[in-house]
């Protein structure tokens, strides 16, 4: 009972820290998650999650750690397994839990910002204090047995080493829990999506990757789920006016993804893997994938990934034991990609999407090492501000630019690209993937709104059409594309629709996606989106026709088993009345934002620089809107493959 009690109390302390964090959250995702915790299906999910998974896990870990202490202690102290007291059992297990957590906090020190109180202590002081607190009892206990200096040291060090196996084992045990679907085909198409990878950051981080770089590539809509649905052949007119949760009508009726359906009919075995399935909304829908895996169903990933950061030892094992590796702060950066490539063997069309750079990013120690004197920072200061209201004049005046969220985002993206580099470059020598068109792309970029010249907010996407959100990363290797590093970037305009059409062409012709498919089909890249209001981040120069975040949240329902949906009052066609539209042409981006008072503002960008803002009248806006609509449907895959 004593070791179990230690496990229970340690777990309760972490749980209290988590509750306090939600209680005192100022803004951002934590507030959103905190509010949604009050919804009945989420409450039931959390109760089930805690009682059937999280708490039993902590109790088992406590017993395991105690078993190690008992075995190792017995080797030094005669008869220890018969003479130990309840107090020894409790305190040693508690110290062991402290030690394994400290090992994980040392790996990702920024996760200490999740713990009220501790988050305000600078790392240089906090980490040694935690170490002393954790070691105090085991040293005192070993000393009290009067074993002599060397045996005491051996006893304590041995214990720490044994206990260390518990957090480090999941990284070394091969993942075999999700059986591969297999098959005998070589891959024809491999698509790797990196969520929110900006074009500028992505290209700079992949200079040592083989393949052809495209530096003027654009999304169709800066929202993950919708963009992927368009890539799968879904109707762009439907999928450019939605948001994060699926629309209610997507759960009923026939599958709406013509390219996935065609690939399935033709035996291509389309497979899709994602390390954070929260926004992709595939759960509960009838679709023709050969395989879809994510760590947990639908929205449960959000709660999962947000809870896990507060329970480090659970998080470390979660990456190993879930159906697919997760994005929690301890997830190895290459685990998801490796797993997708393993599970994809035998399929002709393999897809993987990673959310490892989703906000908030918890930098690891190696990532922090790139921040000058990171140990003088507090954990708290690594948490980005999410809304401009948080940036009070006092906070702005004392802002330490080392914590800049864009810097941390860049460091994270570089770390991911570095972890993936040997895998990507190795694919050319892997018979399964060497003849595939291998595409690294992002679904959208990421924007860091400035509150002052110095202070930037945490990264966001899915709000607006602008170069930060719409310009995307694109690198392609495989037949017809550069097989070495350092070839000059191609400047042609590429739309994600070009990739979609390339897939359609490959499916219908049996040939590989060619450079011409990507470079010639959309000299101008169309985009449209029912933008959200930006009042959290910035003060707009005028009132635009946008959707309020609060009304979107109110019309979204959360159901059991990860299912969620938005019930829109108007049809997609009606909602498209007020869309923001954009054209990408080489480095130039032309964004037309409709005004509440009628007419629109036309923003022109060159790269990331705003060059002009002009006002156009309502008729001109309507004419441009019709042109975008025509461009979006110009090469509908339904024409080739039917509905
Ligand atoms: Zn995304």
Ligand 1 geometric centre to CA of 455 (Å): 24
The rounded distance, in Å, linking the Cα atoms of 535 and 462 is 14
- Phi first, then psi, for residue 288 (nearest 5°) are -105, 35
The confidence score (pLDDT) of residue 365 equals 97
Percent of the chain with pLDDT over 70: 97
Other CB atoms closer than 10 Å to residue 496's CB: what's the count? 26
Q: What is the arithmetic mean of pLDDT over 54-63?
A: 97
Q: What pLDDT does residue 36 have?
A: 67
- Res 29: pLDDT: 58
Spacing, Cα 389 to ligand 1 middle (Å): 25
> In angstroms, what is the span from residue 493 Cα to ligand 1's centroid?
21
pLDDT of residue 8: 98
Q: Which residue reads 């406590």 in tokens? A: 62
**What DSSP letter does each residue of 79-110 carry, written as one string?**
THHHH--HHHHHHHHHHHHHHHHHHHHHHSGG
547 C-alpha to ligand 1 centroid (Å):
19
Of 78, 75, 81, 64, the closest CA to residue 156 belongs to: 75
496 CA distance to ligand 1 centroid (A)? 14
CA 88 to ligand 1 center in whole angstroms: 49
The CA 223 to ligand 1 mean position distance, Å, reads 6
Residue 481, classed as helix, strand or coil, is coil
What is the band of 272 on the pLDDT scale with cuts at 50, 70, 90? very high
Q: Alpha-carbon distance 282 to 563, whole Å? A: 9
Question: Which residue did the predictor score with more confidence, 178 or 404?
Answer: 404
Please state, in angstroms and rounded to a whole number, the distance separating the CA atoms of residues 504 and 324.
Answer: 28
Q: Helices 2-24 and 29-36 sit at what angle, rounded to 10 degrees?
A: 110
Q: Tokens 């005998």: give the residue.
A: 184
Q: Where are the beta strands (DSSP E) in 180-304?
A: 189-194, 212-213, 217-218, 271-274, 291-293
Per-residue confidence band for 575, with pLDDT thresholds at 50, 70 and 90: confident
**For the CA atoms of 144, 146, 149, 151, what is the dihedral angle to 10 degrees?**
-100
Ligand 1 centroid to 383 CA: how many Å?
20
Give residue 42's pLDDT.
Answer: 81
Q: Residue 431 Cα, ligand 1 centroid: separation in angstroms?
A: 30
Ranking 55-69, 159-173, 189-203, 563-577 by mean pLDDT, the lowest is: 563-577
Least confident residue range of 265-269, 293-297, 469-473: 293-297
Res. 321: pLDDT tops 60: yes
Residue 224 CA to ligand 1 centre (angstroms):
4
For the cut 70, the answer to whether the pLDDT of residue 30 exceeds it is no
Count Cβ atoms below 10 Å from residue 457 Cβ, excluding itself.
Answer: 25
Instruction: Report how far ligand 1's centroid is from the alpha carbon of 445 (Å).
Output: 8
Q: Ligand 1 mean position to 345 CA, how many Å?
A: 25
Model confidence at 611: pLDDT above 60: yes
Ligand 1 centroid–CA 158 distance in Å is: 45
Distance 604 CA to ligand 1 centre (A): 24
Dig out the tokens for 39 from the structure: 């919804």
Rounded distance between C-alpha atoms, residue 18 and residue 10, angstroms: 13
CA distance 184 to 204: 37
Ligand 1 center to residue 135 CA distance, Å? Answer: 43
Q: What average pLDDT does this structure show over 563-591?
A: 88
Q: What length is written for the chain? A: 643
pTM: 0.94
First to last CA, the chain: 62
Shortest CA distance to 106 belongs to which of 369, 318, 357?
369
- C-alpha distances in angstroms, 618 versus 240, 241, 595? 21, 20, 9
pLDDT at 137 exceeding the cut of 90:
yes
Q: Give me ligand 1 centre to Cα 59, in Å.
A: 36
- For 283-288, what is the mean pLDDT? 81
Q: Is 570 helix (H, G, I), strand (E, B) or coil?
A: coil
Q: With 80 as the cut, is the pLDDT of residue 639 above it?
A: no
Q: Please report, to the nearest 10 degrees, the dihedral formed by the alpha carbons of residues 366, 369, 375, 376 taken in order.
A: -150
For residue 100, pLDDT over 70 is answered with yes
pLDDT at 287: 86
Q: How far is CA 152 from CA 79, 133, 149, 158, 567, in A?
A: 17, 18, 5, 10, 65
Cα(311) to centroid(ligand 1), Å: 25
Using CA atoms, how far apart are residues 624 and 262, in angstroms rounded to an integer? 33
Residue 643 has pLDDT above 60, yes or no: no
Query: Average pLDDT, whole number, for the chain?
Result: 92
**At 183, is the secondary structure helix, strand, or coil?**
coil
Distance 42 CA to ligand 1 centre (A): 23
Q: How confident is the model at residue 642 (pLDDT cuts 50, 70, 90)?
A: low
The number of helices, as runs of H, and strands, as runs of E, in the chain is: 25, 17
| Structure token pair of residue 594 | 């409709």
Whether pLDDT at 254 is above 90: no
Q: Indicate left, alpha or beta for 267 from its phi (over 0: left) and psi (-120 to 50: alpha).
A: left
DSSP run (H or E) holding 56: helix 55-76
Q: How far is the CA of 444 from the centre of ligand 1 (A)?
A: 6
Q: How far apart are CA 377 and CA 348, in angstroms?
A: 48
> Cis omega before residue 427 (within 30°)?
no
CA of 642 to the centre of ligand 1 (A): 28
User: Mean pLDDT, to the nearest integer, of 92-114?
Assistant: 97
> What is the model's pLDDT at position 548?
82
Packing angle, helices 300-308 and 40-49, rounded to 10: 50
pLDDT at 255: 67
Distance 442 CA to ligand 1 centre (A): 8
Kindly tell me if the per-residue pLDDT of 302 is higher than 80. Answer: no
> Residue 562 — very low, low, confident or very high, per pLDDT cuts 50/70/90?
confident
* Under 8 Å between Cβ of 482 and 212: yes
Give the distance (Å) from ligand 1 centre to CA of residue 448. Answer: 15
Predicted pLDDT at 178:
83
């Amino acid at each position: 009972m004593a070791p179990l009690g230690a496990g229970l109390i340690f777990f309760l302390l972490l749980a209290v820290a988590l509750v306090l964090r939600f209680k005192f959250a100022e803004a951002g995702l934590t507030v959103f998650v905190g509010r949604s915790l009050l919804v009945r299906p989420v409450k039931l999910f959390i109760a089930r999650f805690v009682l059937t998974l999280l708490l039993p896990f902590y109790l088992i870990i406590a017993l395991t750690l105690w078993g190690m202490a008992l075995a190792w202690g017995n080797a030094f102290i005669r008869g220890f397994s018969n003479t130990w007291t309840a107090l020894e059992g409790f305190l040693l297990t508690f110290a062991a839990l402290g030690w394994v957590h400290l090992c994980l906090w040392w790996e990702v020190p920024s996760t200490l910002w999740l713990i009220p109180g501790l988050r305000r202590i600078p790392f240089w002081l906090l980490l040694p204090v935690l170490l002393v607190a954790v070691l105090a009892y085991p040293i005192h206990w070993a000393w009290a047995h009067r074993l002599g200096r060397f045996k005491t040291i051996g006893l304590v060090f041995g214990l720490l080493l044994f206990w260390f196996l518990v957090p480090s084992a999941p990284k070394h045990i091969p993942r075999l829990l999700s059986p591969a679907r297999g098959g005998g085909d070589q891959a024809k198409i491999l698509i790797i999506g990196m969520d929110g990878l900006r074009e500028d950051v992505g290209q700079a981080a992949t200079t040592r990757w083989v393949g052809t770089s495209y530096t003027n590539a654009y999304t169709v809509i800066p929202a993950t789920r919708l963009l992927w649905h368009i890539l799968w052949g879904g109707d762009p007119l439907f999928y450019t006016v939605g948001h994060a949760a699926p629309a209610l009508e997507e759960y009923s009726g026939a599958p709406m993804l013509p390219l996935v359906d065609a690939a399935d009919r033709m035996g291509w075995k389309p497979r899709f893997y994602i390390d954070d399935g929260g926004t992709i909304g595939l759960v509960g829908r009838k679709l023709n994938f050969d395989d879809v895996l994510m760590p947990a169903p639908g929205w449960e990933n959000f709660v999962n990934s947000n809870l896990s950061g507060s329970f480090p030892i659970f998080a470390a094992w979660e990456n190993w034991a879930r159906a697919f590796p997760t994005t929690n702060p301890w997830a190895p950066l290459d685990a998801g990609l490796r797993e997708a490539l393993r599970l994809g063997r035998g399929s002709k069309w393999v897809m993987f999407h990673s959310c490892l750079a989703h906000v908030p990013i918890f930098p690891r120690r190696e990532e922090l090492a790139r921040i000058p004197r990171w140990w003088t920072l507090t954990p708290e200061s690594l948490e980005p501000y999410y809304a401009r209201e948080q940036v009070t004049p006092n906070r702005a005046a004392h802002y330490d630019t080392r914590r800049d969220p864009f810097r941390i985002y860049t460091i994270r993206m570089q770390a991911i690209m570095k972890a993936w580099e040997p895998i990507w470059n190795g694919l050319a020598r892997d018979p399964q993937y060497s003849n595939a068109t291998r595409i690294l792309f992002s679904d959208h970029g990421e924007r860091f709104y400035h509150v002052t010249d110095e202070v930037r907010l945490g990264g966001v996407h899915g709000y607006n059409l602008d170069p930060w959100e719409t310009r995307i990363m694109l690198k392609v290797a495989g037949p017809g594309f550069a097989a070495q590093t350092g070839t000059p970037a191609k400047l042609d305009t590429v739309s994600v629709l070009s990739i979609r059409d390339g897939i359609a062409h490959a499916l219908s012709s049996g040939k590989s996606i060619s450079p011409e498919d990507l470079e010639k089909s959309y000299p101008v890249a169309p985009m449209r989106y029912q933008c959200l209001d930006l009042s959290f981040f910035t003060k707009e120069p005028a009132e635009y026709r946008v959707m309020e975040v609060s009304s979107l949240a109110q019309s979204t329902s959360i159901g059991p088993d990860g299912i969620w949906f938005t019930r829109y009052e108007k049809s997609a066609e009606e909602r498209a009345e007020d869309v923001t539209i954009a054209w990408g042409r080489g480095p130039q981006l032309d964004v037309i934002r409709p005004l509440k008072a009628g007419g629109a503002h036309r923003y022109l960008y060159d790269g990331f620089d705003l060059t002009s803002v002009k006002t156009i009248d309502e008729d001109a806006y309507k004419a441009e809107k019709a042109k975008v609509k025509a461009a979006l449907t110009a090469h509908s895959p339904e024409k080739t493959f039917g509905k």
